[in-house]
Amino acid sequence: MKIICIIPARYKSSRFPGKPIADICGKPMIWWVYQQAEKVKRIDKVYIATDDNRIEKICKDFNMNVIMTSEKHRTGTDRVGEVARKIKADLYVNVQGDEPLIKSETIEKAILPFEEKTDNIKVRNCMTEIKDMADLIDTSVPKVVVNKRNRAIFLSRLPIPYPKSRRGLKYYKQVCVYVFTPDALEKFCELSKKGPAEEAEDIELLRFIENDIDVEMVEVEQDTIGVDTPNDLEMARKIIEKQLRDKK
């Protein structure tokens, strides 16, 4: 099975321009993501997908595979879809470029169910239980509700489900590692118009749910920090600094 990992990276973020190449301990943020993806033995090759020459240059400076893509993509998954049309594979892993704390074990856990081939699921995404209640009210953190088979019912930036009764209630948040079969990825790109839920929430996974395509959420233990603001970057930087000190 040929598996390609693609890390979409764009410079023009409305909240944090240039964040993929923001410095963390002397390396650009996407370098930290790239290194974890490369540790996954099941992945044959890792690529950065970008539309910006500044990101392309940084990738080349740090010996990371990079592919230039269109400036017109509205989501990272659309960008991954363009790369998939150029490089054929059996599975495509999309790891967000603003997840510098992602672990290789988390990426691998999202891939494993496809090897078992016990169902017809074509899209998988990771989720983890929310332990820090600050994440529950943070609108940059998508929350997930699943059914008893761990199929995604809905994702929202608001706390869901509503806690009318807190008995036994657990909250989960999305971890931005996605795995797609080629036909699921192509279908996503064909459905180029966002549905009302995706448009409102700005969560691309909702495009599958709104079009009756099952998404299985794979529960992982890792808690992550998606970098959406300079404050998030500072938090990630402190954690990585501590990890580097602990290794000495």
Q: What is the mean pLDDT of the chain?
A: 93
Structural domain boundaries in the chain: 3-126+174-247
Taking only the tens place, the pLDDT of each residue in 122-163 is 999 999 999 998 999 999 999 999 999 999 999 999 999 988
Residue 188: its pLDDT value, please?
A: 95
Q: Is the pLDDT of residue 7 over 80?
A: yes
Taking only the tens place, the pLDDT of each residue in 222-238 is 888 888 888 999 999 99
Residue 78: its pLDDT value, please?
A: 94
CATH of 3-126+174-247, one of 3.40.50.460, 2.30.30.30, 3.40.50.2300, 3.90.550.10: 3.90.550.10
Q: Mean pLDDT across the stretch 193-212?
A: 95
Give one DSSP letter per residue of 181-232, joined into a string: -HHHHHHHHH--SPPHHHHHH--TTHHHHHTT---EEEE-S-------SHHH
**In which band, very low, low, confident or very high, does the pLDDT at 248 lie, cut at 50, 70 and 90?**
confident
Q: Is the pLDDT of residue 16 over 90?
A: no
81 CA to centre of own chain: 14
Residue 148: its pLDDT value, please?
A: 95
Among 115, 114, 122, 138, which Cα is nearest to 224's? 138
Q: Mean pLDDT across the stretch 10-37?
A: 91
Q: Mean pLDDT across the stretch 65-82?
A: 94
Q: Mean pLDDT across the stretch 32-52?
A: 97
